[in-house]
């Protein structure tokens, strides 16, 4: 991890030197842009789920994006279940790492808070990941799979 941080810092400083910047400002060095809009997704596992909500991410010319989204995830097969979900991720050199925190509910009075780490490929408006649900509460909630392949696409509506 130290080597990674050192490499990224060296890249920033080298670009600042080459471009003649007098102060460290990532927006001038790496071409930072912020995008927000509609987050969409499909999660393929034991039972497929759909996702829709809001996202915001920051993208750099160096292939790196970090972002977050706040969405509603829903399963329509067998039994209806839905989950408000917060997601946070970073893509560096098209390699994606993130974490999701969904809280599942159904109309039978059950709920389950999950912690879902993910790993995969992505950049800017697209990512595909393998994710695993780790139960914080109610481990036995029906129709919520443990392993997922998640595909997300982010529709940018506003860019700064």
Residue 149 sits in which domain range? 31-159
The reply to whether 7 and 78 lie within a common domain is no
Residues of 41-73 as b/e, b for ≥16 C-beta within 10 angstroms? bebebebebebebebbbbbbebebbebebebeb
Provide the pLDDT for residue 10: 53
> What's the pLDDT at 97?
96
Q: pLDDT tens, 69-92?
A: 999 999 877 778 899 999 999 999
User: What is the CATH number for 132?
Assistant: 2.40.160
Same domain, 70 and 115: yes
Query: Is the pTM value of this prediction over 0.85?
Result: no
The total number of structural domains that make up the chain: 2
User: Can you name the residues that pair with 41 across neighbouring β-strands?
Assistant: 51, 152
Same domain, 82 and 126: yes
Low-confidence ranges of the chain (pLDDT < 70): 1-31, 142
């Amino acid at each position: 991890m130290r080597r990674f941080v050192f490499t990224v810092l060296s890249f920033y400083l080298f670009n600042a030197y080459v471009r003649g910047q007098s102060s460290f400002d990532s927006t001038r060095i790496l071409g930072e842009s912020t995008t927000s809009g509609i987050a969409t997704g499909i999660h393929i596992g034991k039972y497929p789920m759909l996702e829709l909500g809001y996202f915001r991410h920051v993208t750099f010319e160096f292939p790196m994006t970090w972002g977050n989204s706040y969405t509603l995830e829903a399963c329509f097969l067998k039994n209806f279940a839905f989950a408000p979900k917060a997601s946070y991720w970073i893509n560096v050199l098209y390699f994606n790492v993130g974490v999701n925190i969904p809280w599942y509910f159904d109309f039978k009075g059950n709920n389950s808070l999950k912690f879902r780490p993910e790993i995969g490929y992505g950049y800017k408006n697209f990512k595909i990941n393998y994710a695993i649900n780790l139960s914080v509460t109610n481990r036995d909630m029906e129709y919520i799979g443990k392993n997922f392949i998640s595909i997300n696409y982010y529709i940018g509506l506003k860019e700064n």
